[in-house]
A and B are shown apart, each in its own frame.
Chain A
Amino acid sequence: MKLAYWPGCVSRGFTPELHGAMAAVAPKLGLELVELDRANCCGAGFISEHNQELADTLNARTFALAQGVDGAAGMVNICSTCQGAQSECQERLDADAAYRAHINEHLEPEGLEYERGGAWWNKNLLWLLVEEIGLDALRERVVRPLEGLRVGPFYGCYIVRPTRRLGYELYPDRDKYLEWVIEACGAAPVKYAGSHKCCGFPIVTTNRETSLRQAGRHMADALDAGADCVVTPCPLCHLNLDLQQPESQAFVERDLGIPVLHLPQLIGLALGLDFKELGLHRHVVKTDEVQAKVAALAAA
């Protein structure tokens, strides 16, 4: 399947292991990714906070670039926040023809145009896995079922709310996909209170305490529920849950130390890719125990 691929800013900045893992996993899933290397930041909600028309223009540009990729089935992203911020703009662009025409005028000098497309879509990797690739196809490609690995799902707000904007009418189970994918990888999904809550990242610079208390609390809940690790389709969540985990310990007054995997890393493990290729050494919270568990499976 050929896809226009939007990796987002963070996967090429502070979470390079995510970008690498996706590159390693894609061919194994039969995906041909055409990276949108001229596309811009989605705005992560902050540009639309600043100026809605500007955010809509910037994302219309990205959509137009994606629509211009010959033979692509659609657009895929690997960031819940990109998905949510882009869906917000797409909702407005699709709702009103006059507004869309106005935004498209800003793209005209470069000959770009966003077309409201019946068949065109922009999907997070998680949605793509279930809806386009299919869990059966994923299961067939699993060479190393992650038996015994207990994984806590962490979705990221931007792909679970608001449901009306995010296509839940058509796909009502999108808030269960992460559990399904964990199962398809042979691992055991762990139920805990924080799986669909907020990591706190958007306010880490404006209210550090509120932010890191959220992150710390969810990781503590996952640990208490017996998770070996957490998996997330959102690199911004990853920043607060992994990079900031040593800091967030102070706010929940306990030791944490739970590894946080990116979605393509978990899939990569089940597809038999090696740890280094998946960037598992590039985490702040060491992934050694997860690696040891998976290595023991391979040996068994």
Chain B
Amino acid sequence: MPDYSLKIRRYNPESGQPAYWQQFEVDLPAERSVLDGILRAKYDQDGSLSIRCSCQAAICGSCGVRINGMSRLACNTKLGEAAEDAPNGAIVVEPMGNMPVLKDLIVDMDAVHWKKVQRVVPWLLPEGDPPDREYIVEPESMIDITQSMACIHCGACVSACLSMEVDPEFIGPAALAKAYRFVGDPRDAFTEDRLLDLAEDPHGIYDCTHCFACIEVCPKDVAPMNQIMRLRRRATSDYGIKDGNNGYGHEKAFSDLIEKYGLLSEAQLLPKSYGDGSLIRAQVKPAALKELTAKLPTVIRGLRSGKVSPKTALIHRKLKDQDQIRRMYKEVESHEDRLELNLYIVGDSDAEEEGTMAEGGQEG
């Protein structure tokens, strides 16, 4: 059996000592998990080595750690695979990021993850008297939220989130994916209130920076960032929520500019974003004016460096075949239901023959 080296980050707050690295050698087959390796080291070499774990089958979500820098479940990562990415031959195991460490590989999930999940009111809020028996829903209307229901709350996405790294108040990927689970539920009666709350929070849906880190690390393919994008789509397109973070304005300005010109002009995107998508409103809305004035030094520097010419700043380039783009906008936006192809639901393998196009499970 091969020998694997595990370089584990140790920390015991009661010792008064700083964190340190300790290397363990374990003799296990390649297909055994990193968790098996850690537990072997604990049993054979140092009983004080601490990790939280339970099912050992990627179901309970307890053993989230960082392995060679990637947030993962220790039980779901094979020693052989981890060794391939190991720098200098030793598999590096650290506690998850963005959460305080309690001891060794155990982080405080209550302080961050669960607190944020509670923030989004993670339970159903139906209206009216409860029915005599169960609530009846069409199965099709639940398909859209099955992806967010697959979450096992391991915290891997929270650990990897690059917005949370600089803004600890960001509600974050796990909690926002959970929020979508209820926003997308046809039994819930507070969809608009939920969206309004998440859109207006300065650390809400518009604080996600599109970095895909949560999608990359999720062991259950929940794709939290995609759920955040769905929340934004519902907030802007379905409810027209004009939030104080310019989320609505930016999305509207972006898509309107492409409809009009086909190409993007950063010079027009900024003012339009702050005016909820309108240039005129940008000039009369005090908050927009303030934001724009704050951007002036950047624009002046751009002009001075020769990066931005007055021509690019003032005149928008227009595509030669712009009428085509406008027609496409009209065609697509004229049907009542938004068409969404969610590969999590329809699958992406060999669909070539059958063609399994599914109408998205959202009402338009």
Contacts and interface: CB of A to CB of B under 8 A. Distances in A.
A16 B264 contact: no
A72 B353 CA distance: 29
Interface stretch (A127-135, A138-146, A239-247): A239-247
A233 interface: no
B321 A38 contact: yes
B168 to A, nearest CB: 10
Given A49-B229, A106-B331, A198 B307 contact: no
Given A49-B233, A203-B163, A206-B247, A97 B301 contact: no
A97 B312 CA distance: 40
A197 B266 contact: no
Contacts of B216: 161-163
Contacts of A228: none
A1 to B, nearest CB: 26
Interface size class of B (residues with CB under 8 A): 35 or more
A12 interface: yes
B351 A206 contact: no
Contacts of A61: 324, 328
A193 to B, nearest CB: 10
Interface size class of A (residues with CB under 8 A): 35 or more
A70 to B, nearest CB: 19
A53 B94 CA distance: 41
A99 B341 contact: yes
Contacts of B329: 54
Given A51-B338, A98-B356, A205-B274, A157 B237 contact: no
A152 interface: no
Contacts of B283: none
Given A12-B317, A58-B325, A97-B353, A282 B305 contact: yes
Contacts of B328: 54, 57-58, 61, 106
A158 B222 CA distance: 19
Would you list the 8 A-B pairs with minimal beta carbon distance, nearest first? Answer: A98-B355, A161-B212, A95-B348, A198-B211, A98-B357, A9-B264, A206-B206, A213-B166
29 contacts: A9-B263, A9-B265, A13-B267, A13-B312, A16-B309, A40-B262, A40-B263, A43-B258, A47-B254, A49-B232, A50-B254, A51-B333, A52-B339, A57-B328, A84-B212, A92-B343, A96-B356, A96-B357, A97-B355, A99-B355, A160-B212, A161-B212, A161-B215, A198-B163, A198-B209, A203-B163, A203-B207, A207-B206, A282-B306
Interface of A: 9-10, 12-17, 37-38, 40-41, 43-54, 56-58, 61, 84, 91-92, 94-99, 101-102, 106, 109-110, 157-158, 160-163, 197-198, 200, 202-203, 205-211, 213-214, 217, 239, 243-244, 246-247, 281-284
Interface of B: 162-163, 165-167, 170, 202-203, 206-213, 215-216, 229, 232-233, 236-237, 245-247, 249-251, 254-255, 258, 262-267, 269-270, 273-274, 294, 297-298, 301-302, 305-309, 312, 317, 319-321, 324-325, 327-329, 331-333, 338-341, 343, 346-348, 351-357, 360
